[in-house]
Amino acid sequence: MKCVYILQSIPYHKKFYTGSTSDLKRRLSEHNQGLSSHTKKHMPWKLKSYIAFDDEKRAQEFERYLKTSSGRAFTVKHL
């Protein structure tokens, strides 16, 4: 199973990060330990939302959508 997740920076509330993983708990821990260069600057992070997919291709497509301008607008408006 693949999860597409959205993180929100705790000190910088307007900063979000979208990613995907098969182990959400481990991945969130990695982000908060500073092991990701993309999220290191705005830690710590909290999990804002996630969706689990049993089809990896659909998970990739959804993650790509969330990283577009309309996907980012959706994230800000609905979360």
Instruction: List, for residues 54-72, the tens digit of each pLDDT value.
Output: 999 999 999 999 999 999 9
Instruction: List, for residues 28-48, the tens digit of each pLDDT value.
Output: 999 999 999 999 999 999 999
pLDDT of 19: 98
Alpha carbon distance 4, 39 (integer Å): 16
Nearest to 47 by CA among 32, 58, 60, 57: 32
Instruction: List, for residues 2-32, the tens digit of each pLDDT value.
Output: 999 999 999 999 999 999 999 999 999 999 9
Tokens of residue 21, six digits: 């993983």
Alpha carbon distance 67, 57 (integer Å): 16
Contact between 5 and 27 (Cβ < 8 Å): yes
For 75, how many CA atoms within 13 A lie in the half-sphere containing its CB? 28
Domains and CATH numbers, the chain: 2-78 (3.40.1440.10)
